[in-house]
Amino acid sequence: MDQPPREDSAIADLSQRLRDGDRSALEETYQRFSPLIHTLGLRVLGEHHEAEDLTQRVFLAAWSSRHT
């Protein structure tokens, strides 16, 4: 299912701000997507602690590789 154009634009803006090194964009990205990542991690890994670790690693990797 496609996202509405307004939503696509908001995500594109957030992505650009993240690539530009805007720390508040990382926080917004985390707030927006961490529940989804954690839920998927929990379903795949089956353990809350492992899902938390996975979620942290995803956002650390996103921040560390934001320029690529």
What are the start-end ranges of the H helices in the chain? Answer: 5-19, 23-45, 48-64
Give the angle 68-19-34 at the CA atoms, nearest 5°: 100
| pTM exceeds 0.85, yes or no | no
- Digit-coded pLDDT (tens) for 20-55: 999 999 999 999 999 999 999 999 999 999 999 999
pLDDT band at residue 57 under the 50/70/90 scheme: very high
**CB 32, CB 18: distance < 8 Å:** no
Residues 6+ apart with CB under 8 A from 21: 66
| pLDDT at residue 1 is higher than 60 | no
